[in-house]
Amino acid sequence: MTQRVLTAFCLGALLFAAGAQAHAQAQTQAYPSKPIRMVVGFAAGGSTDKLARVLATRMGELMGTSVVVDNRPGAAGNIAAEAVATAAPDGYTIFMATLSSQAINPHLYAKLKFDPIRSFEPVGLVAKYPLLLVVPPQLQLNSVQDLVTYAKANPGTTFFASAGNGSPAHLAGEIFKATSAVDVRHVPYRGGGPALLALMSNEAQFAFETIPSAIGHARGGKLKALGVTSTQRSTAAPELPTMVEAGLKGFTVTSWAGLLAPAGTPKDVVDKLGEATRTAIASANVKSALESDGAEPGTGGAEEFSRFMKDELKAWGQVVRTANAKVD
């Protein structure tokens, strides 16, 4: 190759690289130029869906485009997680990830079509929230210890409902079983709504559900709330004791939700999503909605959320093993 040809080749390569970089920068600067899809792994009307819709509305306002919630229920969030993990990494598909999909399911399911860490780019933690222990009013139980006494008097015929195998409600029930030494059985339903309906009709005798899903039914008299699973009493129901206060040592369960993008999404795009997420969470309407449901607004950026998920994945692996929880 002559010097002239070599020079021309190198110049062409440099121009190509510069052009590609400029094109990528232009695309990033133009983002978003169309609606963003926020995939939710649970049915419409549930606590995760409610949170997603409040957040999506505010993020859309901040980003100058529509953020549309796309419900993909099934397998405690696995179906939604798989859909996002295989989506184009362009910032137009994001995932409202939960404790179930990212920290519990990997220890319950033998084969997943996504890796809870490597398949995604963390955007930010949105919220943390405790679960509420609820029972049918017709059982006339007034405390957590009343439920323990009832379960011991009815071994093998006391059932707890959950939003599905691998859900926080499922694991909370297994932890209750282990810490109170009772013989209770798990009945999974297709979401928190059906689980609570089963409870109201006394098909099941107790359930741990998110405060947003259950507190209205408890206040309306359709269910009776006995306690919360947080380390401290909830601002949404300060009259209720924590499970530890009620005598179940070490019993704490905090659910959470956060946004993820497919692995390979450009950093500048992830940064824009993260900035919109943090600003939305801090806005008055979203913050009020979270606090009224007993949720603690998420803090920190992508790096903090990444560390948080890795810690949760490790911690819940131990919980699953200790509780000997299995997918039925």
Compare 173 and 29 and report the one with higher pLDDT: 173
Q: How confident is the model at residue 17 (pLDDT cuts 50, 70, 90)?
A: low
Compare 140 and 300 and report the one with higher pLDDT: 140
pLDDT (tens digit per residue) in 184-243: 999 988 778 889 999 999 999 999 998 888 988 999 999 999 999 999 999 889 999 999
Q: What is the mean pLDDT of the chain?
A: 89
Least confident of 6-20, 148-162, 211-225: 6-20
| φ/ψ (deg, to 5) at 32 | -90, 145
Compare 67 and 24 and report the one with higher pLDDT: 67
Q: What pTM did the predictor assign?
A: 0.80
pLDDT at 299: 85
Least confident of 10-14, 64-68, 247-251: 10-14
- Mean pLDDT, residues 319-328: 74
H or E element in which residue 134 lies: strand 120-135
Opening angle at CA 113, ends 305 and 207, nearest 5: 65
pLDDT at 325: 72
Residue 242 DSSP one-character state: B
Determine the 3-state secondary structure of 306 from DSSP: helix
Return the C-alpha torsion angle 227, 228, 234, 239, nearest 10: 0
* Strand 224-228 to 120-135 pairing: antiparallel
Opening angle at CA 230, ends 192 and 128, nearest 5: 65
pLDDT at 163: 82
The CA distances from residue 114 to 79, 100, 109, in Å, are 10, 14, 11
Q: What is the DSSP string of 177-190?
A: HHHHT--EEEEE-S
Block residue for tokens 């990494």: 89
- Mean pLDDT, residues 6-15: 53
Block residue for tokens 């609606």: 35
- The answer to whether the CB of 248 falls within 8 A of the CB of 257 is no
Residue 295 DSSP one-character state: P
27, two tokens: 């695309």
Least confident of 9-18, 118-127, 202-211, 236-245: 9-18
Determine the 3-state secondary structure of 107 from DSSP: helix
> What distance in Å separates the CA atoms of residue 306 and residue 117, rounded to the nearest whole number?
8
- Mean pLDDT, residues 174-189: 93
Angle of helix 192-200 relative to helix 211-219, nearest 10 degrees?
30
| φ/ψ (deg, to 5) at 78 | -65, -40
Query: Which of 72-81, 147-156, 249-258 has the largest mean confidence?
Result: 147-156
* Strand 184-188 to 67-71 pairing: unpaired
Q: How confident is the model at residue 22 (pLDDT cuts 50, 70, 90)?
A: very low
- Given a cut of 50, is residue 42 above it in pLDDT? yes
Question: Domains in the chain, ordered, with CATH?
Answer: 36-128+255-323 (3.40.190.150), 130-228 (3.40.190.10)
43, two tokens: 């049915």
Beta bridge partners of 122: 260
Opening angle at CA 322, ends 296 and 75, nearest 5: 60
pLDDT at 317: 92
pLDDT at 305: 97
Opening angle at CA 43, ends 99 and 305, nearest 5: 25
- Given a cut of 60, is residue 15 above it in pLDDT? no
